Structure 1
């Protein structure tokens, strides 16, 4: 059976290989999973077009097959679709990027870093809605 094959035949192959890897008979798997030997034989031989979800869950639990393998075996998704590419790095305004670079500078002392953060917080507080001049976005002095 080719690695490209998907569907009930591939699911059956996955179950059979996992069972054999444990050196279990179909009877052993039936006892461990609570699924009848007849159903296990049917699944292993790919003789079902619509495997029953609860029975498949019992079988894969007994065989310790990762759940993610089931939709892959059935051809519902590909492995690539389950491993999405990493998110692109966040991009900030150039001034923010510069501030981040300064704060990440390994040569900056922790005291200087804390001072810079305190100053940035001060500036942020100076530019809150209650301190902006109406209609300009410019800061006005806070009332004391």
Structure 2
């Protein structure tokens, strides 16, 4: 039995194809795939591979960012949420910490310094004054 995400994806592809007035053969030609692939996608017979889904969405003029929502990986609200952007120095620290060539000792030192700087820049604790 196909999963709900595959069914939603297939319905979205079929609806967009029908709105354009295209046959499955016309969509297959526009997306560079085959009619059986279009049929399997629209009927949720198999999981649609990401490159094929992307090609179909491109051919149909659909927003590829809706794919994870249709497949149930995220909600529309999560997709619309702003992405947290780190300041450049924090970004450099993260890059340094995930670099497999950085020694664990250096990574620990960087983290210790970052924690120290965070404590130094934090506002004074008002509960300590009581």
* Cα distance between partner residues in 1 of 2:33 and 2:43: 15
User: Taking structure 2 as the reference length, what is the TM-score of the superposition?
Assistant: 0.59
How many residue pairs get aligned? The number is: 82
Structure 1, unaligned runs of 5 or more: 88-144
Dislocated runs of 4+, deviation >6 Å: none
Aligned to 1:43: 41
TM-superposed CA distance for 1:6, in Å, is 3.8
Q: Deviations over 1:4-46 (max 9, x none)?
A: x941000000000000010000010011111110010000001
Larger radius of gyration: 1
Structure 2 alignment gaps of length 5 or more = 85-130
Distance (Å, rounded) in 2 between the aligned partners of 1:84 and 1:66: 17
Partner of residue 106, structure 1: none
SS at structure 2 position matched to 1:77: coil
Taking CA–CA contacts closer than 8 Å with sequence separation of 6 or more, which of the two structures ends up with the larger relative contact order?
2
Q: What are the within-5 Å matches in structure 2 for residues 91-102 of structure 1?
A: none
| 2:31 paired residue among 30, 33, 39 | 33
TM-score of the two chains, using structure 1 as the length reference:
0.53
Q: Which residue of 1 aligns with 2:54?
A: 57
- The CA deviation string for residues 45-79 of structure 1, in whole angstroms up to 9 with x for no partner, is 0111x311111111110001101111111001100
1:30 & 1:79 partners in 2: Cα distance?
28
2:21 corresponding residue in structure 1: 23
How far, CA to CA, are the matches of 2:49 and 2:79 in structure 1? 23
Separation in structure 2 between the aligned mates of residue 6 and residue 65 of structure 1, nearest angstrom: 20
What residue number does 1:68 align with? Answer: 65
